[in-house]
Amino acid sequence: LRAPTKIPPPVHPKPRTSESNNKIKVRALYAFPGISDDDLPFNKGDILEVEQSVISEEIGWWQATHVSTGKSGYIPFNYVVIADTTPQTQEWYFDFERHDADKVLLLPGNKKGTFLIRKATDGATFVLSVLDIDKNDE
């Protein structure tokens, strides 16, 4: 007869911490061509990843990685916003009242179909304002 052997407890590997867990995605508000070789050029609307630990307005330049190209370099912090899905961070959102929205849409150079989104007067919903007239149609 054999004596039962004691089975050692299972060894669980330590969970891997993904590098991306410590990164925040930011969206470019403006194009940045880069000034030096250490800079990361990007276009308006591009998504970049920044180490969460460096996000501070006290530091003027952040180390970032371009999500599409994989290239890394320094970016000016004031050219980007944290990329999320809230309307306030989108380029088509404007924080002003209806009469201001009308003025902006009627500025020279805006074509039929130009739009913006603003907060409604109730503060809980949003309003889509669209330029539907063309000065050439008059």
CATH number at residue 130: 3.30.505.10
Please, which residues have CB within 8 angstroms of residue 94's CB and are 6 or more apart in sequence? 100, 101, 104, 116, 117, 118
Q: Could you tell me if residue 10 is inside a domain?
A: no
Residues 117 and 73 in one domain: no
- The pLDDT, as a whole number, for residue 83 is 81
Q: Could you tell me if residue 11 is inside a domain?
A: no
- DSSP bridge partners of 81: 27
Given a cut of 50, the residues of the chain with pLDDT beneath it are: 1-5, 7-18
Range of the domain at 102: 87-137
Is the pTM higher than 0.85?
A: no
Domain end marker among 61, 82, 103: 82
